[in-house]
Amino acid sequence: MPAYKLMYFDTKGRAEVIRLAFAVAGQSFEDKRIPLSMEEWQTVKPTIPQKQLPCLQVDGRLIPQSRAIMRYLAREFGLYGDNNDENTRVDVIIGTAEDFLKSVIALRYEKDDTK
């Protein structure tokens, strides 16, 4: 098995589903959490493709984009289904989770308390 290192901030956000995929697969990984204080992130950022997290390191190769990472691991761990219909059901769940996350993030930064 390759050595996996998942880089993200010290929160669930876009990384938690990836962490869950490792847990479901029983695969160990380094859960590198960069402190939300932006100091360390500003040092790390220039080394990350697309300059955003999460980013997965697989034996030294860097994979950006949370959905690409999820699909990569799902294929690696046999969690993506066995045929096109099953793959598509997984894609629907991934897309729905993304929509849900976007609405949670919007709520987090909403200034109007009544909403």
Ligand X SMILES: N[C@@H](CCC(=O)N[C@@H](CS)C(=O)NCC(=O)O)C(=O)O
Q: Applying CB under 6 A, which residues contact ligand X?
A: 13-14, 52-54, 65-67
Nearest residue (CB) to ligand X, 13 versus 81: 13
Least distance (Å) from ligand X to the CB of residue 84?
A: 24
The CA distance from 13 to 27, in Å, is 21
Least distance (Å) from ligand X to the CB of residue 53?
A: 4
Least distance (Å) from ligand X to the CB of residue 25?
A: 20
The CA distance from 75 to 2, in Å, is 14
Nearest residue (CB) to ligand X, 83 versus 108: 108
Q: What is the DSSP string of 57-86?
A: EETTEEEE-HHHHHHHHHHHTT-S-SSHHH
